[in-house]
């Protein structure tokens, strides 16, 4: 790959030489000033200065190298289901990961980062393997799921990281195979999220032999649970992480007579949705963004919502929960372009 000078004439915020180099390297499908609202589940986000869809692993690695050589800020997007993109957009190269190959051999499943997670769950179950069913309704890609160790905390081995044998990443100009036990998976976290240095290219999983009929029953169950969540409206899923229980007696004092508290203490996690509900914030609206009436940890876009309104509502919720209960909420959603 040969990349030339990065200086040039600035036309409408674009440096002509950079654009030419990007087009030469990434081809005609490179888009300029592409609205990211088209690529996020929230339907929010200003334009990416440059936007490229990587349909193969080779294209993905090449795009990473090009951004590096042109010293362009790089944004990796999977399904865009856990991000809040600024109304001003992203001043660099946004790469949407769409490499989509997968294979199932015995109990070993290999999937590229751009494979849709829900699709993979169905294929794995149809192959007679079990373990992935709790992930069926998690939107987005395999790469995005590994980045944040997606899953549900209510069931044993309910996170994607519980099934990972190996993750293949692009780290600088090297391809690295990271064994599962070195991925640092925890609740909504991984070394990939912590370091921010790795682009996930693919992953290998070890599932368990199962029963196709039982897997389909489980899948139906996990999809049915989601009927209580606002899947019909644009959102980025849960805005805040659940909180670890550190002092049960303090919580019993703060929330006397609350019927569900003991269940949460047993689970070791206090759901943020419950706290936001306790603070009386269900239905609270700022502009076109609303705390969902169905599930208080979802902020939903009622139509033409803006990132600015999401930020104001997040800040209001955090302040209310802090003032009422002395508890600090932490965002799960990833901020981009702020
Ligand atoms: C309706 C709804 C329900 C949800 N339910 C759940 C749930 O039950 N459990 C749960 O855990 N989450 C849930 N989420 C959140 C979200 O679906 C997950 O976090 C999902 O795994 C994000 O994947 P994605 O591909 O959309 O990532 P994106 O939103 O595109 O990206 C998220 C982050 O990952 C990074 N990233 C993405 N791909 C890569 C890659 N290949 N290499 C390096 N970094 C990468 C991005 O840069 C970004 O920082 C829900 C979201 C919605 C909208």
Q: Is 217 a catalytic residue?
A: no
Pocket probe mutation, ligand 1, options 42, 78, 151, max atoms within 8 Å of Cβ: 78
Residue 84 within any structural domain of the chain: yes
- Tell me what the mean pLDDT of segment 309-313 comes to: 98
CA distance 86 to 247: 36
Is 86:45 a contact under the CB 8 Å cutoff? yes
276, 296 in Cβ contact below 8 A? yes
When pLDDT is cut at 50, 70 and 90, the band that residue 12 belongs to is very low
- Position 134 scores a pLDDT of 98
Residue where a domain terminates, one of 182, 216, 250: 216
* For the CA of 150, the nearest atom of ligand 1: 11
Residues 138 and 83 in one domain: no
Q: What is the pLDDT of residue 10?
A: 52
Atom of ligand 1 nearest to the CA of 229: 1
What is the sign, positive or negative, of the torsion defined by CA atoms of 114, 118, 119, 125? positive
> What pLDDT is attached to residue 4?
34
Task: Provide the CATH number for the domain around residue 139.
Answer: 3.30.465.10
Structure tokens that stand for 243 in this block: 């909180």
Work out the average pLDDT over 198-219.
98
pLDDT digits (tens, 9 = 90+) for 34-82: 999 999 999 999 999 999 999 999 999 999 999 999 999 999 999 999 9
- Tell me what pLDDT residue 217 has: 98
Ligand 1 pocket test, candidate residues 82, 170, 183, 222, most atoms within 8 A of CB: 82
- Find the Cα–Cα–Cα–Cα dihedral 3, 16, 172, 33, rounded to 10°: -140
- Rounded to whole angstroms, how far apart are CA atoms 181 and 197? 18
Q: How many domains does the chain have?
A: 3
- Can you tell me whether residue 150 is helix, strand or coil? coil
On whether the CB atoms of residues 141 and 163 are closer than 8 A, the answer is: no
| Domain endpoint, select from 82, 97, 112 | 97
Give the domain range for residue 58: 10-97
Q: Could you tell me the distance, in angstroms and rounded to a whole number, from the CA of residue 35 to the centre of ligand 1? A: 19
CA of 48 to the centre of ligand 1 (A): 19
- Among 170, 238, 306, 309, which one carries the catalytic annotation? 238
Ligand 1: residue whose CA is nearest its atom 28: 80
pTM of the model: 0.94
Nearest to 109 by CA among 97, 85, 127, 82: 127
Ligand 1 mean position to 39 CA, how many Å? 12
**From CA 327, how far away is CA 274, in angstroms rounded?**
12
SS3 175: strand
Q: What DSSP string runs through 119-140?
A: HHHHHHHHTTEES-GGGTT--S
Does the residue 141 lie in any domain?
Answer: yes
Res 5 pLDDT > 80: no
Range 62-75 burial, b when 16+ CB lie within 10 A, else e: bbbbbbebbebebb
Comparing CA positions, the residue from 135, 142, 236, 146 lying closest to residue 192 is: 146
| Ligand 1 pocket, residues with Cβ under 6 angstroms | 41, 76-83, 97, 113, 138-141, 143-145, 147-148, 150-152, 192, 199-200, 231, 235-237, 334
Distance 79 CA to ligand 1 centre (A): 7
DSSP characters over 219-249: HHHHHHHGGGS-TTS-EEEESB--EE-S-HH
Residue 1 lies in a domain: no
CA angle 107, 110, 112 (to 5 degrees): 160
Say if residue 112 is in the same domain as residue 133.
yes
Considering the chain, what is the average pLDDT of its residues? Answer: 94
Kindly state whether residues 109 and 90 are assigned to the same domain. no
Ligand 1 centroid – CA 140 distance (Å): 6
Tell me, yes or no, if 238 is annotated catalytic: yes
109 plus 209 within the same structural domain: yes
> Tens of pLDDT along 212-239?
999 999 999 999 999 989 999 999 999 9
Of 34, 133, 183, 188, the catalytic one is 188
In a domain, 224, yes or no: no
Give pLDDT, residue 179. 98
Q: For the residues 247-259, what does the mean pLDDT come to?
A: 93
Percent of the chain past pLDDT 70, that is, above it, reads 96
322 labelled catalytic: no
For residue 200, which atom of ligand 1 is closest to its CA? 42
Q: Whose CA is nearest to atom 34 of ligand 1?
A: 144
- pLDDT over threshold 50, residue 23: yes
Of residues 143, 255, 137, the one with CA closest to residue 203: 143
Q: Which two tokens stand for residue 242?
A: 């659940």
Query: For residue 269, how far is the Cα from the chain centroid?
Result: 20
**Residue 71: which CATH number?**
3.30.43.10
Q: Does the pLDDT at position 154 exceed 90?
A: no
101-137 pLDDT, tens digit each:
999 999 999 999 999 999 999 999 999 999 999 999 9
Look-up of token digits 């905390």: 153
The phi and psi torsions of 298 (rounded to 5 degrees) equal -100, 130
- Contact (CB, 8 A) for 67 and 75: no
- Pair (168, 195) in one structural domain: yes
Q: What's the full length of the chain, in residues?
A: 338
Indicate the burial class of 131 (C-beta count within 10 angstroms; 0-12, 13-18, 19 or more). buried
Examine the pLDDT at 2 and tell me if it is beyond 60. Answer: no
Ligand 1 mean position, distance from CA 334 (Å): 9
Confidence of residue 15 (pLDDT cuts 50, 70, 90): low
Measured from the Cα of 231, ligand 1's closest atom is 1
For residue 14, pLDDT over 90 is answered with no
CA distance 230 to 292: 7
Q: Which of 78, 97, 116 is the last residue of a domain?
A: 97
């Amino acid at each position: 790959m040969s990349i030339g000078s990065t200086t040039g004439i600035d036309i409408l915020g674009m440096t002509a030489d950079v654009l030419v180099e990007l087009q030469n390297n990434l081809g005609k499908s490179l888009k300029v000033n592409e609205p990211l609202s088209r690529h996020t589940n929230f339907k929010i986000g200003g334009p990416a200065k440059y936007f490229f869809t990587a349909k193969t692993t080779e294209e993905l690695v090449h795009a990473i190298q090009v951004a590096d050589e042109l010293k362009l800020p790089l944004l990796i997007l999977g399904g865009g289901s856990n991000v809040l993109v600024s109304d001003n957009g992203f001043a660099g190269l946004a790469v949407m990961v769409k490499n989509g190959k997968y294979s199932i051999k015995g109990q070993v499943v290999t999937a590229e980062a751009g494979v849709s997670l829900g699709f993979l769950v169905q294929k794995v179950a149809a192959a007679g393997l079990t373990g992935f069913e709790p992930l069926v309704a998690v939107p987005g890609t395999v790469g995005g799921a590994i980045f944040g160790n997606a899953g549900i905390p209510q069931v044993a081995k309910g996170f994607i990281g519980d099934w990972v044998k190996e993750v293949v990443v692009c780290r600088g100009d090297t391809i690295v195979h990271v064994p599962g036990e070195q991925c640092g998976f925890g609740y909504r976290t991984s070394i990939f999220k912590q370091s921010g240095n790795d682009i996930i290219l693919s992953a290998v999983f070890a599932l368990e032999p199962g029963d196709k009929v039982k897997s389909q029953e489980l899948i139906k169950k996990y999809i049915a649970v989601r009927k209580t969540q606002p899947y019909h409206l644009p959102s980025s899923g849960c805005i805040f992480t659940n909180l670890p229980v550190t002092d049960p007696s303090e919580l019993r004092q703060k929330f006397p007579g609350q019927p569900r508290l003991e269940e949460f203490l047993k689970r070791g996690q206090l759901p943020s949705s419950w706290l936001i509900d306790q603070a009386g914030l269900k239905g609270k609206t700022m502009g076109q963004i609303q705390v969902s009436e169905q599930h208080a940890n979802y902020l939903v876009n009622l139509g033409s919502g803006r990132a600015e309104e999401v930020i104001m509502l997040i800040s209001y919720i955090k302040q209310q929960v802090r003032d009422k209960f002395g508890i600090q909420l932490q965002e799960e959603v990833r901020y981009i372009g702020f």
